[in-house]
A and B are shown apart, each in its own frame.
Chain A
Amino acid sequence: MKQKSILCWLIVWLWTVPVWANVAADCERLFEQGNAAYQNEDYLTAINHYEAALHLGYESGEIYFNLGNAYYRNGRLGLAILNYERAALYLPHDANVLFNLQLANLQIKDRVTSPPQFFLIQWGQRLVNFWPARVWAMLLTVAVLLTAGLFAVYWLIELRRGRSLLKGLIGAGLVVASLLLIPLSLRQRLEQHPAQGIILSPGVSSLAAPQPGSTELFIVHEGTKVRLLAEDGDWYKIELLDGKQGWIRSGDLGRIGHSDP
């Protein structure tokens, strides 16, 4: 009975692999067409190709980076920054992505400076953003498997020496695995429920309430990074780095994160 169900899963998996490969090939093709258009300085066509590739349901840091470049060349600063930020989620240590993001950020109107954060929190954030959730999950799995293997060795083989060392290693493995759960869960939350966004419209009035005629509190400009606090219909409650809060239309904002449509 058990063997049968495993077989079933295997068949399903084997059947889906060619489909996956086919779609990925389409993605790859669109990506290359986009690159060719970019090289010919036809940035609008490049944007169309990259966006089409993303619509197929696959993504990568490189395609977001290239899309950001194409938007930058097309003068759409907000969309450029949004895509650089998305690229940075996948390629957190890529010098090109970070450079272009920094260069684009130099040109935004709002220079909101965040109040200085406690250094431990800063380090923590940097650590969480060091790898995507996938990598954290891999690390956790490796740690768990290693610990299990060591445990099996300890339990089955009658070692004459190094038993206490093995015990220590197992304990360390358990501690590392449970510590890895923290960045994994934080990063997972960041990716699946993006709480940050980039302003896409040239100038957006931030209102006191999610109603069209309410008091205008401040104006944010294209490219500014904001935090998302709440959603109400097609309105987002945003917070600037300096703590100012207000409501804007969801169309004026692009969320950084995978699940953004």
Chain B
Amino acid sequence: MSKQLICSLLILLSTSLLTAQELRLRASVNRNQVTDQDRLTFTVDIEGVSDFPDIPPPESPDFVVISGPSHSSSIQIINGQMSASKTITWQIAPTRTGQLQIPPISIRYKGKSYQTNAVPVTVSTARTRAPSGAPSAPSADTPAPPATSDEVILRASVPQNSIFKGEQLLVTFELFFRNVRAYDVKKLPEAQGFWVENYPVNDRPVITNETLNGVAYKKAILRQMALFPTTTGELTIDPLVIECEVLVSNQRRRSIFDDFFNDPFFGDPFGTTSRMVTARSAPVKIRVQPLPEDGRPAVFSGAVGQYRIESRIDTLRTRQDQALTLRYIVQGAGNINALQLPPPQLPNTVEVFAPKINKQIDNSGKTIRGTLTYEYVLIPRQPGLLTIPAIIFSYFDPQTRRYCQLPTRSYAVQVLPGDQLATRSTGLNKSEVAMLGQDIRYIYRNSSHWQTRGENVLYRAWFWGLNSLALLIVLIAVGWRWWTDKLATDNTFARRRRAWMLAQERLQPLGEDHTALDHHLCLARWQQALVGYIADRLGLPAAGLGQRELTSALQHQKSKPELIERTARLLEELEAQRFAPTALTPEACQEFFQRTQELVKQLSRVL
């Protein structure tokens, strides 16, 4: 009784705090499959207001009220928001068998009328019960829970049964229960032909009240999975099997607080025993359609969902042989795992390494999202303008049922000639490596050795001149040696060479203080010069040469007869004048000298 008192006090206190809210009414039974011997608990929940209106009992000829109403009310403060609810319970019994209905209860509250829902109840005579409606019922091979209070239903729900290949399908496993304290997953659902991405499992699932076929249940979402079909055709999601610990209340007087304390996730219940019940969801059949053929781009590689792509490059101005990083980032919702990007079409002057692919999948939201990063490392090997063309990423959007194509940016990277000292590090020996840090030596400030461009030394005069000079030296030396040897050894040769000089020596003109003796002496010397010259040149013995011998020798030399005659006449005249008693006049003497000199000159040309 004290509990009720405290509760009433709480309600009184709280009424002032509660604000006027929308009134919600809900009617339910503890089970809707009963026999005509059973009793039903009919419950009406009122939520939203603090001053609860009176609820009349259900009025139907098919049911009789056995006990009640019993009231229980609660106030909850969640996140500072207060809500109040009241539960009014009747024990009713059916009066006949068949498909019965507990009619709605109408009330008026603050000038407005509200109505509860109608609750269908099947009343049978036999004690056996057929399993309830198709997808939400436990499968047939599971023994149905014998007691109504421990009934648990595991349901796999999908938003649609027909999807495209690669499209995301959200599967939710919901547990409908009344008194379950704990559960344990026995077998996870298998989904052949799907890429499965699990949503995180909450250890303490949020429990909501829900009516399934008119019966009030508590509902907990145990597990959510995103499935992406990888093939087409009819696919099956296998059941999830769990084992639940179900609380069975003992035959003791139920207090209105029992429900509160019997909450399965709330401590140890009062006077209850637990039982293990296995529940499994029904297999779900999914029809997977292939992606439409028309309008499919050539570059399409199987991406389904909603995406956007961007590209990034770390620099647009680099040096030759220095690496630059090119990133393609795809973000969006869909089958991230199946994404593939086409490689960029790069020129041959760039060395491209295999891309580093990074996938991040985010399962915290309603749909599976993710980021796919392709990181290319490029090393330009030639200076110049490097053009990185755009790549086109294509995906199929299942919402609009169309293919989309997204181009990335294209880049023009300016590649400067490399810092070549740093680049060549291979194939160098130790001394070459030591040179790498050095710079070139400075220029020459002056140039001393200018020469004709393309000079050919074989066309230079000095080369040939000096070499000819050497030859000349040799020839002169040889010639000189020959000459001196000849002079020394050959008498005739020597006389011939000396003939002219000797004749010139002898041919001295008459002096100033000339006497008769001198005249004769001079004439004799002149005659001697002429005769000696001819003898020397012709190699004749000088002594005892008469005029006749000379003439015949000259004739033998085939000299001109006129010259021979002149020679003979001059010799005769000289001979005659030498021994003449009178002295010659100086003029005549001079004439003799000139004639002799002239003759010697003429003879030297011939002999």
Contact status A54-B453, CB under 8 Å: yes
**Known interface pairs A58-B453, A141-B463; A69-B443 also in contact (CB < 8 Å):** yes
B457 is an interface residue with CB less than 8 A from chain A: yes
Q: Kindly list chain B residues whose C-beta atoms are within 8 Å of the C-beta of A156.
A: 477, 480-481
Looking at the complex, which one of B435, B447, B455 makes contact with A134 (CB distance below 8 Å)? B455
Looking at chain A's contact residues, is the secondary structure mostly helix, strand, loop, or mixed? helix
A62 is an interface residue with CB less than 8 A from chain B: yes
**What is the interface size of chain B, counting residues whose CB is below 8 A from a CB of the partner?**
48
Give the most central of B426, B442, B447, B469: most A CB within 10 Å. B447
Contact status B481-A69, CB under 8 Å: no
Interface residues of B in 443-499 (CB under 8 A from A): 443-458, 460, 462-463, 466-467, 469-471, 473-474, 476-478, 480-481
Contact status A137-B463, CB under 8 Å: yes
A114 CA to B312 CA, complexed, in Å: 45
B103 is an interface residue with CB less than 8 A from chain A: no
A69 CA to B421 CA, complexed, in Å: 16
Of the listed stretches A142-150, A159-167, A206-214, chain B binds A142-150
Contact status B457-A133, CB under 8 Å: yes
Contact status B451-A60, CB under 8 Å: yes
Taking the closest CB of chain B, its distance from the CB of A144, in whole angstroms, is 5
**Known interface pairs A100-B441, A106-B435, A148-B471; A202-B447 also in contact (CB < 8 Å):** no
Taking the closest CB of chain A, its distance from the CB of B473, in whole angstroms, is 4
Taking the closest CB of chain B, its distance from the CB of A167, in whole angstroms, is 14
Contact status A145-B469, CB under 8 Å: yes
Contact status B458-A60, CB under 8 Å: no
Interface residues of A in 3-45 (CB under 8 A from B): 24, 27-28, 31-32, 35, 38
A96 CA to B443 CA, complexed, in Å: 9
A59 is an interface residue with CB less than 8 A from chain B: yes
A59 CA to B451 CA, complexed, in Å: 6
Contact status A145-B466, CB under 8 Å: yes
A31 CA to B310 CA, complexed, in Å: 56
Looking at the complex, which one of A38, A96, A152 makes contact with B477 (CB distance below 8 Å)? A152
Interface residues of A in 52-67 (CB under 8 A from B): 54, 57-63, 65-66
A155 is an interface residue with CB less than 8 A from chain B: yes
Q: Kindly list chain B residues whose C-beta atoms are within 8 Å of the C-beta of A104.
A: 440
Interface residues of A in 70-119 (CB under 8 A from B): 70, 72-73, 75, 77, 90, 96, 99-100, 102-104, 106-107, 111
Contact with B along A168-192 (1 / 0, CB 8 A): 0000000000000000100010011
Interface residues of B in 405-455 (CB under 8 A from A): 417, 420-421, 424, 426-428, 432, 435-436, 438-455
Contact status A63-B455, CB under 8 Å: no
B382 is an interface residue with CB less than 8 A from chain A: yes
Taking the closest CB of chain B, its distance from the CB of A49, in whole angstroms, is 12
* Chain B interface residues (CB < 8 Å from chain A): 382-383, 417, 420-421, 424, 426-428, 432, 435-436, 438-458, 460, 462-463, 466-467, 469-471, 473-474, 476-478, 480-481
Could you pull out 14 A-B pairs where Cβ atoms are within 8 angstroms?
Answer: A32-B446, A54-B453, A57-B452, A59-B452, A63-B447, A73-B440, A96-B441, A106-B432, A111-B427, A137-B457, A141-B466, A144-B467, A148-B473, A202-B383
Closest 7 A/B residue pairs (Cβ): A148-B470, A62-B447, A152-B477, A62-B444, A155-B477, A258-B454, A66-B443
